[in-house]
Structure 1
Amino acid sequence: MTASSVTGELGKKIQRFTFQLIDANLTHFIATDAHNTTSRPFNLVEAYDVVEKEYGIEFVDMFMENAEHVIDGKMIYRENPERIKRKKILGIF
């Protein structure tokens, strides 16, 4: 997942979908999409702050440890994926 999608920089709709992916155990990493410092900033710290606020420090630790495990050639931590829960429209659909 890109840090900008977690922070809401790409819009609230993308941020909500990002949270749905995290909720469904479909996200194992948070990465920066920083190609330059003007139009795509490095905002990984801000993304980790959002994750901590929404999910707790355990999720931040998991994302950071998974990044280290990839570099070290180790297996990553992951939970079994779940279906994404769709929001009902007017509580009916």
Structure 2
Amino acid sequence: MNIVRLTCGVLALGLAACATPTDTSDRDAAELAEMRAAEEAGLVCEYERIMGSLRRERVCRTQDEIDRAREEAFRETDRAQRATPGPQGGS
């Protein structure tokens, strides 16, 4: 008898969870409006992972900002590789 009650309880909770409405339509509409406004302003939006978290955040930048960041990353990588001493060989 306890198994029947437990099963009925689990099924009731499962049905209640399925019947709960999710109000994502307002959030999706607002996000779509923001994306359109960003595109009209000439921004490029991407989702970037937040360091130390599994969440992602939408970041919008101009193409010039993206190009400058890419060039800076290449320069820093090149500088770090040149500063690293090569292998010590010799015989």
Could you say whether these structures have the same fold, taking a TM-score greater than 0.5 normalized by the shorter chain as the test? no
Name which structure has the greater RCO, CA cutoff 8 Å, separation 6+.
Answer: 1
- How does the TM-score come out when normalised to structure 2? 0.27
More strand by share: 2
More helix by share: 2
Larger radius of gyration: 2
